[in-house]
């Protein structure tokens, strides 16, 4: 199509007396060209107002076209057939003449129960039975014998998951059985020894770590999910070993662990690329190197990129889980240093989630940050000594947050924010990160120790 005819739409108009082929200009309204269409069809055109109020142009089975809109806005395409009719003889739109047919056609578009829904329901019931019955037994008669029985059940469930995946290729049932095995192993380890909380959590985390590693490598289903759980269990094992060696320092150990893991979240993306062995482009050091363009291109770059993406998802999920567990350990201390530390951690997670675009990357940081901020706010309000002040502050905070969130969801969620707001977010994120270091030292009680040394 030439540039001169780029806005022309070629249609066929069928009138009561003849059939004509026309090229309609796209930038004019239908009402402006209706007198000409009527004249070409063999009728007296009259004024544009008379024609618009006496004649209509419509598609078969549809309502008449709006004469006040441009041809391009009416979505008229090349080759279409339009009908020119008098207004009082316009064709009706398509309608059902059979009520049963209308109801059936309408309800056919609604979601129906599918075999996959039956599979999911049956697996959920099976998982509830395989986890609920051992849990009830351990809670009621917790002891070595019951823990060993649960461990044996976990071994059988894990073996079934491996066979279901490897021998029969059934990924969905194998995934459900593998996760049930990990939960059963954690329950068996938790109730295995009654030697204090640190030993109990240590054995549970060790069992979860072992089961997650075996399921991830053996069943080969949801491997990156088991990688995340394994990382969480490994960090918990290390923290509990330190807690056993330093009794009474659980809060301090958790605070240090939270600060360290949060510091590593900014370097998880580069580590994911390195583990996926993606060759990064070399920065040119001279004009000749810039002209040579020796950027490495790997034949399996797509597979490596997907691997890096899934590794990053697992690392971020594990980091979020570790930080939440650490904050749960720190908050019960219920002093303002602990509350401030946990609040800064939650704010950092929420603001740092802006750096990740993918849903699997942003969601763990965002959800964990919101949970931590919610718990911190609730504890801070509970620590207020005055009941009236607590009631006023709680009401004000709830109303203010509700207004902000509803306004954001209704007006600003689908708009691109100004770069100024992004810069404000960066500033607040770094302020929260910087505040974590002195607050961690305060939770460790190092300031009082230093003052004691000074006499």
pLDDT the model gives residue 106: 61
Domain hosting residue 19, numbered range: 8-89
Residue 67 placed within a domain: yes
Angle at 263 between CA 449 and CA 312, to 5 degrees: 155
Residue 19 placed within a domain: yes
Residue 115 placed within a domain: no
Domain count of the fold of the chain: 1
Tens-place pLDDT, residues 277-300:
887 766 667 766 666 656 666 667
Question: Which of 449, 317, 262, 231 lies closest to 254 in space, CA to CA?
Answer: 262
Residue 327 placed within a domain: no
pTM over 0.75: no
The H or E element containing residue 8 is strand 8-14
Residue 348 placed within a domain: no
What's the chain's average pLDDT? 85
pLDDT the model gives residue 173: 93
Residue 22 placed within a domain: yes
pLDDT the model gives residue 18: 84
pLDDT the model gives residue 107: 64
* Token pair recorded at residue 82: 């339009």
Q: Is the pLDDT of residue 345 over 90?
A: yes
Residue 420 placed within a domain: no
Q: Is the pLDDT of residue 276 over 50?
A: yes
Whole-angstrom CA distances from 196 to 183, 184, 215, 233, 255 are 21, 21, 29, 18, 21
**CA gap 402, 399 in Å, rounded:** 5
**CA gap 175, 119 in Å, rounded:** 12
Query: For residue 15, what is the domain's CATH number?
Result: 3.10.20.90
| pLDDT-based confidence at residue 4 (cuts at 50, 70, 90) | very low
pLDDT the model gives residue 298: 63
Phi–psi pair at 431, nearest 5 degrees: -65, -40
Cross-strand bridge partners of residue 14: 19, 83
Phi–psi pair at 66, nearest 5 degrees: -75, 115
Mean pLDDT along residues 330-338: 86
Tens-place pLDDT, residues 54-78:
788 888 878 888 888 888 888 888 8
Whole-angstrom CA distances from 348 to 139, 166, 258, 354 are 38, 42, 12, 10
Q: Is the pLDDT of residue 3 over 50?
A: no
Task: Identify the residue with better confidence: 436 or 422.
Answer: 436
Tens-place pLDDT, residues 190-245:
888 877 788 888 899 999 999 999 999 998 888 999 999 999 999 999 999 998 88
Q: Which residue has the tokens 């977010």?
A: 425
| pLDDT-based confidence at residue 103 (cuts at 50, 70, 90) | low
Residue 71 placed within a domain: yes
Tens-place pLDDT, residues 33-44:
888 888 888 777
């Amino acid at each position: 199509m030439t540039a001169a005819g780029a806005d022309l739409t070629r249609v066929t108009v069928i009138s009561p007396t003849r059939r004509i082929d026309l090229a309609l200009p796209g930038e004019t309204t239908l009402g402006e060209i209706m007198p000409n269409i009527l004249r070409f069809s063999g009728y007296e055109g009259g004024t544009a107002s008379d024609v618009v109020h006496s004649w209509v142009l419509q598609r078969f089975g549809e309502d008449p076209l709006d004469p006040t809109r441009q041809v391009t806005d009416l979505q008229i395409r090349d080759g279409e057939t339009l009908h020119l009719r008098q207004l009082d003889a316009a064709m009706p739109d398509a309608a059902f003449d059979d009520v049963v047919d209308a109801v059936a056609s309408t309800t056919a578009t609604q979601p129906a129960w599918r075999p996959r829904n039956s599979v999911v329901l049956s697996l959920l019931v099976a998982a509830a039975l395989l986890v609920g019955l051992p849990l009830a037994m351990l809670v009621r008669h917790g002891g070595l014998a019951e823990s060993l029985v649960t461990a044996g059940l976990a071994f059988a469930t894990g073996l079934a998951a491996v066979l279901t995946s490897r021998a029969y290729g059934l990924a969905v049932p194998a995934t459900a059985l593998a996760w049930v095995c990990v939960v059963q192993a954690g329950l068996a380890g938790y109730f295995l020894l009654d030697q204090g909380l640190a030993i109990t959590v240590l054995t549970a985390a060790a069992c979860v770590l072992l089961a997650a590693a075996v399921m991830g490598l053996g069943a080969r289903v949801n491997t990156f999910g088991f990688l995340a759980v394994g990382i969480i269990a490994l960090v918990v094992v290390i923290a509990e070993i330190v807690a056993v060696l330093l009794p009474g320092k659980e809060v301090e150990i958790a605070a240090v662990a939270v600060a360290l893991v949060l510091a590593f979240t900014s370097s998880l993306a580069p580590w994911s690329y390195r583990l996926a062995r993606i060759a990064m482009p070399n920065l040119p050091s001279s004009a000749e190197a810039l002209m040579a363009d020796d950027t490495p291109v790997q034949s399996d770059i797509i597979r490596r990129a997907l691997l890096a993406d899934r590794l990053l998802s697992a690392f971020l999920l594990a980091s979020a889980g570790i930080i939440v567990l650490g904050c749960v350990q720190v908050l019960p201390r219920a002093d303002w240093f602990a509350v401030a530390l946990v609040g800064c951690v939650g704010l950092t997670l929420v603001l740092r989630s802006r750096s990740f675009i993918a849903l699997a990357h942003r969601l763990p940081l965002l959800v964990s940050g919101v949970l931590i901020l919610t718990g911190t706010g609730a504890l801070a309000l509970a620590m207020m000594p005055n009941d009236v002040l607590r009631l006023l502050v709680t009401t004000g905070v709830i109303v203010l947050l509700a207004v902000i969130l509803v306004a954001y969801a209704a007006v600003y969620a689908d708009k691109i924010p100004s770069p100024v707001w992004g810069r404000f977010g960066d500033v607040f994120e770094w302020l929260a990160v910087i505040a974590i270091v002195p607050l961690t030292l305060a939770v460790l009680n190092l300031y009082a120790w230093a003052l004691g040394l000074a006499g």
